[in-house]
């Protein structure tokens, strides 16, 4: 028995990151508009052909984007804020990129900044797409916004595919999720705009139908979130309207990233022709969905994991699906990935440096298409035809490479003591203040300094064997030394080594830990043209050798000032890696925590007096449903404490978090008990600090005063004013002065004057404090 197969979306960056290079060439003025659009068109064609070749019956279109699909939707419906100077009609490319990345006064796209735009227009705010490491641009809405169709992009994509002989199912971001992801400047409810938005969607659907589309995929991942009654009503109202938009056109509502849970009845009651469910995140929902779905509803079963890289156990899946098929009939079902394949790399075949065994365990987007096709052909059977394909799955679970008795023993012996610093914070603080003798408002940075083209080039040459390790190391030492001297010269109080040796704050550690595999070409889009290669955790994790020690020691040897040891924390490493599916996440995280603890203790032994453990992704890893928060936060905080718990009271533990909102989780942040936390606050004008004030947060805090996502250089006066706002909320003795985040994506020309100004701001603050001019 065969079942129809479908895909929800394919990575758009390109096998060799063609889109990244085309975008960056365009932004830098090295290539023109036509060559960018041409590169994009070639990528779309390549993706459609691949999906057809692999045997996918239902192929998506309009899953491509030059920058971000949420931005595309905003632009399509005319949600372009006045600041961008758009006056109607199709939104041109430079306005589009100005919304994505900001623009300088001349109206040209700015340097390599992704975000923020000097004197011209700032970019839209950017934030995490659900619980992924993909970032979308936040639609800026207002109560008086009138929507208008600027250009029917889904229609263009549909016609483009048809010209290649491929009949596609266009993808739209659903109106309710779109509004829910947006923000209104006036604080009004974005969903109040729904009735004005629906006619635009209706017109898009009508035009698609007239052009010959028979199905449209409408993504409503909001259905896996905690929804209010009003939000559920909005969904019902939206689809009651859209279902009437075009006679004969069928809508499939796609949900993903979690269980429907208490939204299941709402989802099943929408007057649409199809519903997609994520059966990887919510395997237990299959029975309920099948039992409750109205007879005529097409169910798209998301059984191939769109968020992870492991080969699926197809025989087991076929067996699991058999009862559903028997009950509903193959004609009313589709086999699909759990979500768009945007979040996985493109093809394992490029990973020629991985050993064959490991590679045989992996499925990237291309292999997932094959899995979907295979399952579609054999579903409903006894799985016999699939047994051969699954050899790799069994081999992985039992492989000796995966299991390390030493790690397991260490984990079993772990008790609460590992997590406890000796003295409470107040006592540690006194000891540390005596040890360091820092001034009030000590200045520091978050870790990385500019990753210039030269630094990346040297690393690439070293990897290709064109630069010896000795020469590469000497090069990095020169960069590090120059950066340490410069920090000293401008009068920063606490220095960093600059992270020049790191390709990425997660991958760098993944490459040195046992139990991790790393890839050469397995890029995944993070935002716009920026990509990451998430390491793959396949086995028990340990740290065979120190990972950062020599870089820290080298930097510290050059100065009397404290240089922070710089580590990425276990929760962030976990959240930004592909993780094992044969072990609970929290267990994998504890293993990483023990490895980082080893590094912390080695750094301390070598003399590091301050050690920063970055947990940039701790807040972002928060489960989508509030009911799941407590459990996650408990083990996430425990893991951080395992890293930090072994050090002396005189050793100062720092942590850093960015893009974070803390109100909901401030108690967990306090429970981490880092001596100093640096956070992103400059754009929110210190409002973020209210969370810390309201709860009487006792430890030290460095609220970011320099928005590193923008090429703009802040004045000393502005930063001084920001810290004055912070002083209204916190004690002087608690406050540090630092940027929002690392400086790796910035240029030296921006960083140098900005940090000089930051040091000047701290000097003025010390003057204020002496003069007692500001009440604390």
Ligand X SMILES: Nc1nc2c(c(=O)[nH]1)N[C@@H](CNc1ccc(C(=O)N[C@@H](CCC(=O)N[C@@H](CCC(=O)N[C@@H](CCC(=O)O)C(=O)O)C(=O)O)C(=O)O)cc1)CN2
Choice from 742, 750, 765, 768 touching ligand MET (CB under 6 A): 742
Shortest distance (Å) from residue 80 CB to ligand X: 25
574 binds ligand X (CB under 6 A): no
* # of chain residues touching ligand MET (CB under 6 A): 13
Shortest distance (Å) from residue 743 CB to ligand MET: 7
Using CB under 6 A as the binding rule, the residues of this chain from 96 to 135 that contact ligand X are 133
Q: Indicate which of Zn ion, ligand MET, ligand X, none lies near residue 448 (CB less than 5 to 8 Å, by partner kind).
A: ligand MET
* Residue 679, annotated as binding a ligand: no
**709 is an active site residue:** yes
Shortest distance (Å) from residue 459 CB to ligand X: 4
Nearer to ligand X (CB atom), residue 316 or residue 460: 460
Q: Where are the alpha helices (DSSP H) in 110-252?
A: 153-163, 175-181, 194-210, 229-243
Residue 102 CA to residue 761 CA, distance in Å, equals: 26
- Phi/psi region, residue 155 (left: phi>0; alpha: psi -120 to 50; beta: rest), is alpha
* Residue 448, annotated as binding a ligand: yes
Q: For the CA atoms of the chain, what is the radius of gyration? A: 26
Nearer to ligand MET (CB atom), residue 300 or residue 525: 525
Reference 758, options 730, 729, 725, 717; nearest CA is 717
* Residue 649, annotated as binding a ligand: no
Nearer to ligand X (CB atom), residue 338 or residue 577: 577
Cβ atoms of residues 188 and 132 within 8 Å: no
- Phi/psi region, residue 739 (left: phi>0; alpha: psi -120 to 50; beta: rest), is beta
Cβ atoms of residues 419 and 638 within 8 Å: yes
Choice from 275, 298, 341, 446 touching ligand MET (CB under 6 A): 446
CB atoms within 10 A of CB 212: 10
Shortest distance (Å) from residue 447 CB to Zn ion: 8
Residue 459 CA to residue 465 CA, distance in Å, equals: 10
Residue 86 CA to residue 107 CA, distance in Å, equals: 12
Burial of 397 (0-12, 13-18, 19+ CB in 10 A): middle
Instruction: Strands of 388-523 (E only): list them.
Output: 514-517
74 binds ligand MET (CB under 6 A): no
Residue 429 CA to residue 396 CA, distance in Å, equals: 48
* Start-to-end Cα distance in the chain: 74
Nearer to ligand MET (CB atom), residue 559 or residue 745: 745
Reference 670, options 707, 646, 699; nearest CA is 699
Calculate the dihedral angle through the C-alpha atoms of 725, 728, 731, 733, rounding to the nearest 10 degrees: 30
Shortest distance (Å) from residue 703 CB to ligand MET: 15
Q: Which stretch binds ligand X (CB under 6 A): 6-14, 185-193, 204-212, 526-534?
A: 526-534
Cβ atoms of residues 448 and 497 within 8 Å: no
616 binds Zn ion (CB under 5 A): yes
CB-based burial, 16-37: b 16+ in 10 Å, e otherwise: ebbbbbbbbebbeeebeeeebe
580 binds ligand MET (CB under 6 A): no
Distance of CA 336 to the CA centre of its chain: 23
DSSP 121: B
658 binds Zn ion (CB under 5 A): yes
Question: One symbol per residue from 457 to 496: x for binding ligand MET (CB under 6 A), - otherwise; what is it?
Answer: ----------------------------------------
Using CB under 6 A as the binding rule, the residues of this chain from 331 to 360 that contact ligand X are none
Reference 219, options 269, 289, 277, 160; nearest CA is 277
708 binds Zn ion (CB under 5 A): no
Choice from 530, 625, 683, 752 touching ligand X (CB under 6 A): 530
Q: Which of 276, 497, 709, 720 is catalytic?
A: 709
Residue 175 CA to residue 296 CA, distance in Å, equals: 24
Nearer to Zn ion (CB atom), residue 52 or residue 564: 564
* Residue 680, annotated as binding a ligand: yes
Shortest distance (Å) from residue 254 CB to Zn ion: 32
With both helix axes pointing from N to C terminus, report the angle between 93-101 and 69-76 in degrees, rounded to the nearest 10. 130
513 binds ligand MET (CB under 6 A): no
Choice from 149, 159, 192, 531 touching ligand X (CB under 6 A): 531
Q: Residue 481 has which token pair?
A: 């030394």
Using CB under 6 A as the binding rule, the residues of this chain from 611 to 650 that contact ligand X are none
Shortest distance (Å) from residue 617 CB to ligand MET: 8
* Residue 732, annotated as binding a ligand: no
Choice from 23, 392, 726, 741 touching Zn ion (CB under 5 A): 741
The β-bridge relationship of strands 524-527 and 530-532 is: antiparallel
Q: Indicate which of ligand MET, Zn ion, ligand X, none lies near residue 447 (CB less than 5 to 8 Å, by partner kind).
A: ligand MET
Annotated binding site for L-methionine: 446-448, 499, 614
- Which residues here bind ligand MET, judged by CB under 6 A? 446-448, 499, 505, 566, 614, 616, 656, 658, 741-742, 744
Catalytic residues: 709
Q: State the residues that interact with ligand X by CB under 6 A.
A: 133, 451, 456-457, 459-460, 503-506, 526, 530-533, 576, 745
The annotated binding site for L-homocysteine is made up of 446-448, 499, 614
Q: Which residues bind Zn ion (CB under 5 A)?
A: 616, 658, 741
């Amino acid at each position: 028995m065969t079942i129809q197969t479908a895909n929800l979306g394919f990575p758009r960056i390109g096998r060799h990151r063609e889109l990244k290079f085309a975008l960056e060439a365009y932004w830098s003025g090295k290539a023109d508009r036509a060559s960018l659009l041409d590169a994009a068109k070639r990528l779309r064609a390549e993706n459609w052909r691949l999906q057809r070749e692999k045997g996918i019956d239902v192929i998506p279109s309009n899953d491509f984007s030059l920058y971000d699909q949420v931005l595309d939707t905003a632009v399509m419906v005319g949600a372009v804020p006045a600041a961008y100077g758009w006056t109607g009609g199709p939104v041109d490319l430079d306005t589009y990129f100005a919304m994505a990345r900001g623009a300088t006064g001349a109206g040209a796209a700015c340097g390599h900044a992704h975000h923020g735009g000097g004197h011209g227009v700032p970019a839209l705010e950017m934030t995490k797409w659900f619980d992924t490491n993909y970032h979308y641009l936040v639609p800026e809405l207002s109560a008086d916004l009138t929507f208008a169709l600027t250009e029917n992009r889904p229609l263009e994509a549909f016609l483009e595919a048809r010209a290649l002989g491929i009949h596609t199912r266009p993808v739209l971001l659903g109106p309710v999720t779109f509004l829910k992801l947006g923000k209104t400047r006036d604080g009004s409810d974005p969903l109040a705009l729904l009735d004005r938005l629906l006619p635009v969607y209706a017109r898009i659907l009508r035009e698609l139908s007239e052009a010959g589309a028979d199905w449209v995929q409408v993504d409503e991942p909001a259905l896996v979130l905690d929804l209010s009654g009003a939000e559920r009503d909005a969904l019902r109202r939206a689809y009651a309207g859209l279902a009437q938009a075009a006679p004969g056109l069928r809508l499939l509502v796609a949900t993903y990233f979690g269980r429907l849970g208490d939204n299941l009845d709402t989802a099943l009651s929408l007057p649409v022709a199809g519903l997609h469910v994520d059966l990887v995140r919510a395997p237990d929902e299959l029975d309920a969905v099948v039992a409750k779905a109205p007879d005529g509803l097409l169910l798209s079963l998301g059984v191939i994991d769109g968020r992870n890289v492991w080969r699926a156990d197809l025989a087991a899946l076929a067996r699991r699906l058999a009862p559903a098929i028997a009950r509903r009939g193959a004609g009313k079902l589709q086999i699909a990935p759990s979500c768009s394949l945007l979040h996985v790399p493109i093809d394992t075949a490029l990973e020629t440096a991985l050993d064959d065994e490991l590679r045989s365990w992996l499925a990237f987007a291309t292999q997932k298409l094959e899995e979907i096709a295979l399952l579609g052909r054999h579903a409903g059977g006894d799985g016999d035809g699939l047994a051969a394909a699954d050899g790799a799955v069994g081999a992985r679970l039992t492989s000796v490479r995966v299991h390390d008795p030493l790690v397991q023993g260490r984990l079993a012996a772990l008790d609460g003591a590992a997590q406890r610093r000796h003295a409470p914070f107040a006592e540690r603080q006194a000891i540390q203040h005596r040890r360091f003798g820092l001034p009030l408002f000590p200045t520091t940075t978050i870790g990385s300094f500019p990753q210039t083209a030269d630094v990346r080039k040297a690393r690439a040459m070293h990897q290709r064997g064109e630069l010896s390790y000795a020469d590469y190391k000497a090069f990095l030492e020169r960069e590090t030394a120059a950066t340490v001297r410069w920090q000293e010269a401008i009068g920063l109080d606490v220095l960093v080594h600059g992270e020049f040796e790191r390709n990425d704050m997660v991958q760098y550690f993944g490459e040195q830990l046992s139990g991790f595999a790393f890839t050469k070409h397995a890029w995944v889009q993070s935002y716009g043209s920026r990509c990451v290669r998430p390491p793959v955790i396949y086995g028990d994790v340990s740290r065979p050798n120190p990972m950062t020690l020599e870089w820290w020691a080298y930097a510290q040897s050059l100065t009397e000032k404290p240089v922070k040891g710089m580590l990425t924390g276990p929760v962030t490493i976990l959240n930004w890696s592909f993780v094992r599916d044969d072990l609970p996440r929290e267990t994998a995280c504890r293993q990483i925590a023990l490895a980082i603890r080893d590094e912390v203790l080695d750094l301390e032994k070598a003399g590091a007096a301050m050690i920063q453990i970055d947990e940039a992704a701790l807040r972002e890893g928060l489960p989508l449903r509030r009911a799941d928060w407590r459990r996650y936060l408990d083990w996430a905080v425990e893991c951080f404490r395992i890293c930090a718990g072994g050090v002396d009271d005189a050793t100062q533990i720092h942590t850093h978090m960015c893009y974070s909102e803390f109100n909901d989780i401030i108690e967990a942040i306090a429970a981490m008990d880092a001596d100093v936390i640096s956070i992103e606050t400059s754009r929110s004008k210190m409002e973020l600090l209210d969370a810390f004030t309201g709860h009487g947060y006792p430890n030290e805090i460095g609220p970011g005063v320099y928005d590193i996502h923008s090429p703009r250089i802040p004045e000393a006066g502005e930063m001084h004013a920001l810290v004055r706002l912070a002083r209204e909320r916190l004690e002087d003795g608690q406050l540090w002065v630092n940027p929002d985040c690392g400086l790796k994506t910035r240029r030296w020309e921006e960083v140098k004057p900005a940090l000089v100004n930051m040091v000047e701001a701290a000097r003025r603050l010390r003057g204020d404090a002496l003069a007692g001019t500001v009440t604390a």
